[in-house]
Structure 1
Amino acid sequence: MESLEHLFCTCNLSREIFGNPPFSFPQSHITWKDWLLERAVTLTPAMFDKLLVLLWSIWRNRNEVLWRDKGKSPHQIIIAAMAWYEEYLQANVAHQTSSAVNRQSGRKFWKPPFGTALKLNVDGGFLPTTNQGGLGGVVRDSQGHFIAGFAHSRMEHVSSSLHAE
């Protein structure tokens, strides 16, 4: 069974992606979780966002190899990850612009928490033919900035989207 430590730190693909600063994984005995926490503190928010997109891209590539026998080179993974990151930034700017217009029109949208509180939004889904589902969530601050997220797939014995949530 493959571990997260192997996937993100010791496999050849990850070593090539994270082989240079600012994402370099040290050769010491630090765990990948401690490395990630250190990166969260030492990198700028934009660089840490890029790191998270790269980690997600490595995970996604692993699944493509595992389930479809199709994988990308480290170079292709980096290019795709940065393209998704730029697309996200552009969509976020467009969303902020349209949100101001939609507030005036009375449409309902995500509302931020007050003060220093955080807000967790979750969504679940299921496949009625297999009784399997999944769940994902996003934590944001009062400015709408991404704080954390999670996803859990392959939940067994799920009878509805609400049940998955």
Structure 2
Amino acid sequence: MCRNEDNAMIGRVSSLFWCIWHNRNDKIWNDNIQSLSQVGRMAFAVWNEWFTVHQLRRQHIVPVEDSRLVRWEKPGVRWIKCNVDAAFVVGSSITSMGLYFRNTNGQFVAGLTQWQQPVYSIVEGEA
């Protein structure tokens, strides 16, 4: 079947099959189903991401580590520091977030994870 097709076509078809399978599992396990156009857009996004990564690898482009990266700094005495992160999964209709509280010594104090609907934009989630 794939003998006469190039890798790009095989990748697009594989992405579509995976997204159809993912949609089926999402329906069975979460009673959540997407429209055909949503599945198609998800397949396109999956394929685009895969293709971009492999193009960069093929061109031997290696990301340069930025020495200006922000590193965790411990809070002052008698302070608690809260780190927050959010995740957005395409097609899940869910935004998840996690909070992690640490004391002056960097020790875990408390944490929280939760998911919520509706899906927030990346800008809203990172705010």
Q: TM-score, normalised by structure 1?
A: 0.34
Q: Which has the higher helix share?
A: 1
Q: TM-score, normalised by structure 2?
A: 0.44
Q: Which gives a bigger RCO, structure 1 or 2 (Cα 8 Å, sep 6+)?
A: 2
